[in-house]
């Protein structure tokens, strides 16, 4: 099973794929970020997200996509993140891939056993579960891998 995690963002969107086999074999696929150029017109930045995510999903061919459930960010950023999330949902609909959503608290609980864990604790758990010697960077990619792992643990 290929699970793609997506950490929605407007300036930086994290993605991370894991490949899973029963009973408990997990390996890292691809991970990284889609960045949009600061200062570029909003529509062009959304187009970048659309095109780059379309490529990522097409290459990974996920069986399931997991997205961080939207909650209110800083007010100035909320509308932009919501617009980016709409583009993400459009791309996923075009690929007809199933989607699950988790809140940050659900991810923290699944990976650390504590719903109020610190970000570094979640990142350490991601590295440990995936057998990595270092925490994946940037943080947005590690967050996306955490989402994918949460889906696998809650299958």
Catalytic residues: 7, 68, 140
User: What is the Cα–Cα distance from 114 to 58, expressed in whole angstroms?
Assistant: 35
Nearest Cα to Cα of residue 145 among 106, 114, 117, 107? 107
Rounded Cα–Cα distance for residues 103 and 41 (Å): 30
| Residues with Cβ within 8 Å of residue 10, at least 6 apart in sequence | 36, 45, 49, 77, 80, 81, 83, 84
CA gap 7, 122 in Å, rounded: 14
DSSP code of residue 70: P
């Amino acid at each position: 099973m290929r699970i793609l995690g997506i950490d929605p963002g407007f300036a930086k969107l994290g993605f991370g794929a894991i490949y899973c086999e029963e009973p408990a074999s997990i390996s890292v696929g691809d991970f990284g970020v889609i960045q949009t150029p600061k200062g570029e017109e909003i529509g062009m930045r959304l187009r970048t997200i659309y095109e780059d995510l379309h490529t990522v999903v097409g290459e990974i061919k996920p069986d399931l996509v997991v997205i961080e459930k939207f909650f209110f960010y800083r007010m100035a950023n909320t509308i932009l993140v919501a617009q980016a999330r709409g583009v993400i949902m459009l791309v996923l609909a075009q690929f007809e891939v199933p989607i699950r959503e988790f809140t940050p608290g659900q991810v923290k609980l699944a990976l650390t056993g504590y719903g109020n864990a610190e970000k570094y604790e979640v990142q350490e758990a991601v590295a440990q579960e995936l057998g990595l010697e270092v925490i994946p960077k940037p943080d947005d990619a590690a967050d996306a891998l955490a989402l994918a792992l949460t889906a696998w643990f809650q299958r």
